[in-house]
């Protein structure tokens, strides 16, 4: 049983839809229920965007190449994605979240943080809140969402994941360390496959091992990453939930399973980040006046470059073009372990925009092209259309 919520310094909810695309397909087409599904294209270059829970015991997961996934789970049904439908359901989910808190930070189509601090009188204990959110999402969409509640974003995110699918996990503030410490180090935010190997080589297997380590030594061997994971292992994550409308910047970054080297290898990660950021900009009716690229080398040296975006844009293609141009200003000879992109100088899209005397025609054509590409992607999925330069 939850204690009185007033002992919580903050109440942070992380809500994450279970196998989102696959769940929608199974909901919309009852004949698919209980069957292993792989959502994605069926060409040699396609990847799995989502695998249903029925397919996961076969070792299939998202981002896996479709060819490999088919080999592991030959009986799986391959379903081409219907992005417009997923976006529609996503809007419904976000509307549900918005009824629970004014402070919703949407991370992607199917995942969000809600700051529910001070909402005890409306919704009861954190456990009541989590149950109410799960119920409301199921009521509206017929889908399951896993919910984690904790006093920080990091712990809430881990909590939503540990009991998936249909999970509900409330981590009382005083239980934070008991909850975190038995978990493997891969649960630390920012620790990927490579980081895991690195930490294991140092004799660290669980979060408890990291928490018990000497922070000075950690910093010595891992640099700023050492500080970061030490703090997380103490359950210390002060980052606030920032609704996109209020954000100073919106970023997406990815610590990679394997280091990448060179612009061509970095490009797909930037493209993915640009897509996510553009989606969040659109959700907040914002346009970015600047773009920042962040790269971390395998020796943990962090490099950033930024550029103004004129005119401001909320379009993934514009963000990507600016990011790719920035890549030329980095030394790309070193392998990179992290690729990040952020949009900053955010402006209200409803605000008046100064008209341009020249290049209006070119810009309009670009917008028409983008709109057409968006439509194609919505109908046939992300991988269907590519710019000629990407092939």
Partner 1 sequence: MKVRIDKAALMVPLYRAQGIVDRKTTTNVLAGVHIVAGEDGLTFAATDYEVTIAAEVSADVTEPGAVLVNGRALFDAVRALPDGATLQLSSDANHRLLIEAGRSYYHLNGFPPEEYPTGAMDEAVGRSILCDKSQVETMLKRTLFSVATDDTRAALCGVLFEIEPEGPGQARLRMVSTDGHRLSKAERTIAAADYDGTKHRCIMHRRGAAELLRILEGSDPSVRIEFIGRNIVFSSDKARLQVRQIEENFPDYSRVIPEKGDVSITLETSSFASSLRRVSSLGSSRDNTVRLELSEGHIALEMTFPEIGTAHEELEVPEWKGARLKVGFNPKYLLDVCSVLSTDNITLELSDQFSPCLLHSDEEPGAVFVIMPMRL
Using CB under 8 A, which of the segments 62-70, 86-94, 286-294, 353-361 binds partner 1?
A: 353-361
Q: Does 310 bind partner 1 (CB under 8 A)?
A: yes
When asked if residue 203 is in the footprint of partner 1 (CB under 8 A), the reply is no
Residues in CB range of 19: below 8 A, 6 or more apart: 50, 51, 52, 53, 165
What's the closest the beta carbon of residue 353 comes to partner 1, in angstroms?
5
- The Cα–Cα gap between 381 and 40 comes to 8
Among 355, 388, 390, 391, which residue interacts with partner 1 (rule: CB under 8 A)?
Answer: 355
What is the x/- site pattern for partner 1, positions 163-192, by CB under 8 A?
------------------------------
What is the four-CA torsion angle of 144, 147, 107, 59, rounded to 10 degrees?
-60
DSSP output for 341-352? EEEEEEEETTS-
CB of 348 to partner 1, least distance (A): 8
Establish if 328 lies at the interface with partner 1 (CB under 8 A): no
State yes or no: is 111 an active-site residue. Answer: yes
Number of residues that bind partner 1 (CB under 8 A): 11
Taking CB under 8 A as the rule, does residue 201 contact partner 1? no
Which one is catalytic: 25, 105, 111, 120? 111
Tokens of 74: 């030959």
153/235 Cα distance (integer angstroms): 10
Q: How far is the CB of 249 from partner 1 (least distance, A)?
A: 18
Out of 95, 214, 258, 356, point to the residue binding partner 1 (CB under 8 A): 356
Give 163-167 contacts, CB < 8 A, sequence gap 24+: 164/16, 164/18, 165/18, 165/19, 165/53, 166/18, 166/134, 167/18
Provide the CA 164 distance to its chain's centre, in angstroms. 17
Q: Are 187 and 212 in contact (CB under 8 A)?
A: no
Using CB under 8 A as the binding rule, the residues of this chain from 240 to 279 that contact partner 1 are none
Binding site for partner 1 (CB under 8 A): 308, 310, 351-359
Give the catalytic positions in this structure. 111
């Amino acid at each position: 049983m939850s204690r009185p919520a007033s002992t919580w310094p903050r109440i942070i909810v992380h809500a994450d839809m279970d196998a989102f695309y696959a769940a929608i397909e199974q909901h919309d087409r009852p004949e698919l229920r209980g069957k292993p599904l792989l959502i994605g294209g069926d060409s040699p270059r396609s990847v799995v965007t989502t695998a249903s829970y029925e397919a996961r015991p076969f070792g299939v997961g998202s981002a896996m190449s479709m060819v490999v996934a088919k080999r592991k789970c030959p009986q799986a049904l391959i379903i081409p994605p219907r992005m417009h439908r997923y976006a529609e359901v996503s809007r419904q989910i976000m509307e549900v979240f918005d009824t629970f808190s004014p402070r919703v930070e949407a991370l992607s189509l199917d995942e969000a943080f809600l700051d529910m601090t001070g909402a005890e009188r409306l919704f009861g204990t954190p456990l009541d809140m989590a149950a109410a959110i799960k119920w409301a999402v199921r009521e509206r969409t017929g889908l399951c969402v896993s919910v984690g509640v904790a006093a920080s974003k990091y712990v809430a995110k881990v909590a939503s994941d540990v009991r998936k699918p249909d999970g509900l996990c409330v981590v009382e503030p005083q239980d934070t360390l008991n909850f975190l410490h038995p978990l493997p180090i891969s649960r630390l935010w920012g620790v990927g496959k490579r980081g895991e190997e690195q930490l294991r080589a140092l004799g660290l297997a669980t979060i408890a091992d990291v928490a018990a380590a000497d922070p000075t030594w950690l910093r010595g061997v891992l640099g700023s990453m050492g500080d970061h994971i030490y703090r997380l292992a103490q359950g210390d994550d002060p980052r606030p939930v920032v609704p996109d409308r209020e954000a100073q910047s919106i970023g997406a970054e990815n610590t990679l399973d394997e280091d990448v080297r060179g612009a061509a290898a970095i490009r797909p990660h930037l493209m993915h980040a640009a897509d996510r950021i553009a989606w969040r900009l659109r959700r907040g009716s914002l346009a970015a006046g600047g773009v920042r690229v962040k790269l971390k080398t395998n020796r943990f040296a962090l490099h950033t470059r930024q550029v103004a975006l004129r005119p401001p844009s909320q379009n993934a293609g514009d963000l990507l073009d600016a990011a790719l141009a920035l890549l030329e200003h980095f030394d790309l000879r070193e392998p990179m372990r992290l690729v990040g992109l952020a949009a900053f100088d955010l402006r209200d899209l409803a605000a008046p925009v100064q008209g341009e005397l020249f290049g209006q025609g070119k810009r309009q054509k670009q917008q028409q092209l983008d709109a057409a590409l968006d439509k194609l992607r919505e109908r046939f999925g992300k991988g269907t259309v590519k710019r000629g330069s990407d092939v």
